[in-house]
Amino acid sequence: MKLHTLIRGKNSGKARKRVGRGGGSGLGQTSGRGHKGGKARAGYTPSPIASGIPFYRRLPKRGFKHPRSALGEGYANLKDLARCGEVELIDRQVLVEKGILSTSARFVKILGEGDWDRPCKVVADRFSRAAKAKILAAGGEVQELSPKPEVKDIAPEGGVAEQKRSAARKRVSGSPKPEESLSEAASQEGTPKKKAPAEQALAPKAQEQPEE
């Protein structure tokens, strides 16, 4: 490398801005800062309302992302399955190839919007009631890979809900019937009332007093 082989960078020879050197330069008197105000003074800090906030924080928020979408859930209606054509089996691979589901969709649920008249087998993790009824009515077959568990299967033993249900059953089973309650009331009316322990204690003392 020699001095005559060096190449000057772009704008490397540009003169720096010289302010306050007369009005002919365009940057005299106020040095390009204008008259008065915060921007004309030294130590001025821009307002954080706009100039101090990053650009991505100035933009308004739009929409939202459901937490389930992070799990890779995919949904397809019966009207979307019509794009698969005349096939005997519709599963996740077919839906991805036809562009109905994203490749990131690991959990597939079929919904019942639209009509269905093809007797084919549909394989998915879950089905809505309407979708399952329409597919079966058309003579098709439904295969649920991960059916939804029933509430009684997932309820913890000895939980608050189970305790409330058992208490309600005990109240219903332990409450007397109307006929039994009436018969008990009638039997109690015919039998003499038992004396209290205090009355029983005073009764013999009254008999033992000598006659004058």
- CATH number of domain containing 95: 3.100.10.10
Q: Which residues pair with 75 in a beta bridge?
A: 109
What is the Cα gyration radius of the chain?
44
165: tokens are: 């249900």
Residue 185 belongs to some domain of the structure: no
Number of domains comprising the chain: 1
Are the CB atoms for 84 and 98 separated by under 8 Å? yes
Banded pLDDT at 77 (limits 50, 70, 90): very high
- In eight-state DSSP terms, residue 64 is -
pLDDT digits (tens, 9 = 90+) for 19-50: 989 988 889 889 989 999 888 999 887 776 66
Residue 97 in any domain: the answer is yes
User: Under a CB-based contact definition with an 8 Å cutoff, are residues 116 and 78 in contact?
Assistant: yes
Burial of 37 (0-12, 13-18, 19+ CB in 10 A): exposed
Q: Sort 203 into a burial class: Cβ within 10 Å, 0-12 / 13-18 / 19+.
A: exposed
Q: Is residue 29 part of a domain?
A: no
Flag whether 166 is in a domain. Answer: no
**Is residue 18 a part of any domain in this protein?**
no
* Strands lying side by side in the sheet with 126-127: 73-77, 107-111, 126-127
State pLDDT tens for residues 125-169.
889 999 999 999 989 899 998 776 554 444 455 556 677 777 777
181 SS3 class: helix
- What's the Cα-to-Cα distance from 45 to each of 50, 51, 52, 68, rounded to whole Å? 12, 10, 9, 44
Q: Which residue range forms the structural domain that includes residue 86?
A: 67-144
Report if residue 17 sits inside a domain: no
Examine residue 193 and state whether it is found in any structural domain, yes or no: no
In a domain, 72, yes or no: yes
- Residue 170, helix vs strand vs coil: helix
| Residue 173, pLDDT above cutoff 80 | no
